[in-house]
Every structure is written in C-alpha cells, then in structure tokens.
Amino acid sequence: MADYSVQGNRLLPLHNVNPNANAPHSSIQSITMGIRIGNQKFAIGYINKWSFNMDRAEKVIFQIEPYPDVRGDDFSPAGIASVYTTRTFDENTAYWPGEAIEVIPGKMAPVKITLHRYALYTANLLAAVARSTGSGVYDSEEIPPNIQETEAPVIKYVNILQQVRPFDIYQIFVSPVTGGVLWGRKFGGCWFTKIGEVSPDSEKNEPIIEEGEIAATYIRPLSASLGL
C-alpha cells in the first residue's frame, strides 16, 4: 500500500492507516495517554483529570517615536519634516507608533500541573504519590501506591506538609496500532502546592474526587525510558 497523506479538508480516520505504520495519522485520543509516578513508574490508577501549562515572564520594550518605520540605523538621518508623509499600515509595516519594538523572554516559571483522582479506600491521592515515589514522611523507598490486602487499612497521609521530597511524573502516549509507547514527557522535581477534596451533594451517591495541583521544576522529553 502506498503512503497516505491527509487531505486539506479532512483528517484521516483512525482505521485508514498504512499497515506498515507504527502510529495512525490522526488526532491523539485521551484513552491512549497514561500517567506514571516515580522512578519505577507506578500507575496510581483512578486518575480523573490531567492538565498542565507552562509560562515565562517577558520584558516588553517600547520607544518614544511618533512616525512609523523610523530606524536609527538607516543610511540617511530621519531628520525633521514639517509635513507628515502618510504611511501604509500593512504586512510590510515594521513599526507603528504605540507598538512594542521588542519582547525579551524571561525565566521559565515552574510547570503547573492539575491532577485529579478518585479517592480509594486503599490510598488517597497524597498517599498514593508519597508511597510510589518515597517522597513522604513515612516512606523513603518507592513501594506500590495502594495498601495491600494484607496491610492494615490505615491512611496516614492527610497533610500537604507530609511530602518532604520531590518526585517525578511521566506522561506517556501509546500507539493504538502497536500498543507501545510512542513518546512522552518527564516532569521533574514535583511538589504538591494544593490538595483538596470534593464530596458529592447529600442527594447523590457518587465517588469522592481529590484535586491536586503540582509545581514541576522542569520538563523533558522521554528518551532513556523508551530505550532511545
């Protein structure tokens, strides 16, 4: 079968794929995404929501200049005119009075992550992360996130201050064609900045959701984890 291409007016459906391809030429679906916690990459399960955003500060520079497209490095001086020559405002206009003349990018802020998870009898969100990463006051080694059947059903992680060491989060994307991980991101040096709990109204019988906000120190593409 010849290589396919995406038509300009549509996206190829998932099933219309080159049989020799490792990944379909289609949109990434959330069902093919996974979250792993800690160096051993535990799946803590029951994740309800995942999102993140990055931002960095900027320094905007303006200038005092009443005429468009006047530069200080022209071959001839700008001079002073008693009559203003009308300029066209179009795609070739480099400067217009009132616009910024330069944007200087600043430092990158910590990556902000939102992680929501259904609360389990065997581990709340904080306990699951602390156990699987060894980042809590009760755990210095990475162990399975949820309490085992033979363990006493006691969850001691109830305070955000009980996280005392940073942890890593791995986001992976799985190919629906091969089942293997295609690519992913590592969020390193993570700290909980907010943990909350949302209980359903009294008229409802629904699961309790825990809402966590996390600050990651840095973000990297996965390489060694994928054998690259």
Residue 8 has pLDDT above 60, yes or no: no
162, 138, 127: which is closest to 42 by C-alpha? 127
Percent of the chain with pLDDT over 90: 66
Q: How far is CA 199 from CA 196, 210, 212, in A?
A: 10, 9, 14
Question: pTM of this prediction?
Answer: 0.84
Domains of the chain by range and CATH? 30-55+109-226 (2.30.110), 58-108 (no CATH)
82 touches 114 (CB < 8 A) = no
* pLDDT 10s digits, 154-212: 789 999 999 999 999 999 999 888 888 999 999 999 999 999 999 989 999 999 999 99
pLDDT tens readout for residues 57-102: 999 999 999 999 887 776 777 888 888 888 889 999 989 999 999 9
pLDDT above 70 for 4: no
